[in-house]
Amino acid sequence: MALISLEDLDGLEDEQLDDEITDNPEPMEEVEGERLFNHWQAVASTHQVSVPQEMTGPIQEMTRRNHQREQIHSVLINRHEKMGEVLYEERVYPAGNWACVTKEAELYEQSISLGFMKLMRFICKENSAGRHLGMTIPVMNNIHITEDGKTFEKHVLTAFYLPAEFQSTPPQPVDPDITIVYRDPFRVIARPFFGTTTEETITHQINQLWEILGDVDSLHRDRYMVAVYENPGVSCRRNEIWFIRREP
């Protein structure tokens, strides 16, 4: 879910829109749609991603439903704090159906941006139910580390947990790049961080959490998850790095 900010749109001044409507005889909905699209395009371009015109409808739909987000339920196992700061939590996430798409681009930011735009279209009616499905958080980005342990593999899987209403009968995607995947319950060590999610910032968070945890054999070292709770254009958005427990 990685360059697009819905929250930023809330901060645009109403008088700016009023001026655009005064100068432009197009209906208000068209002006609003163009304004939103241009804003997304501007944010995406900072990471060398172009937003296609066909995203105008999903952008408007998700903007209207910005506050209707369902949190994925998890069970807290334990929490470690220091001087009021949460160092990390251990949680178990439930089994369930996820809509997944894998993209491969030169930059990590490009891969997750392209993947999330596909998931947006799936959420916004490009599905067998023909309706808006609703948004869940966090959106997950699964990353794998190369054999040298220094860089990310280019392909990145972005996954969206289907809302509770659709878990028993998942709508099928129109886009063949998206698949519905059933995942068993999984257990993670989660550490919060704020700001952008680039390969550099994520690598820093991975190293920082290993320093806190020390040498732990029960955690994977070749794969991690990045949980995104807010849209990436937000300057200080909430994210988490997740370390994954090995199967017992």
Top-confidence residue, 76 or 32: 76
Question: How do strand 135-137 and strand 75-82 relate by DSSP bridges?
Answer: unpaired
CA distance 117 to 119: 5
CA distance 100 to 59: 20
pLDDT digits (tens, 9 = 90+) for 180-197: 999 999 999 999 999 888
What is the reported pLDDT for 22?
43
One-letter amino acid for residue 9 of the chain: L
Paired strand residues for 92: 75, 187
Q: Which CATH superfamily is domain 69-245 in?
A: Regulatory factor, effector binding domain (3.20.80.10)
* Whether the predicted pLDDT of 3 surpasses 60: no
Q: The whole model's pTM is what?
A: 0.80
Q: Which residue has the tokens 């005064």?
A: 22
What integer best gives the mean pLDDT of the chain?
83
What is the reported pLDDT for 25?
46
Q: Which residue has the tokens 């200080």?
A: 236
Extents of the domains making up the chain:
7-64, 69-245
* Whether the predicted pLDDT of 19 surpasses 70: no
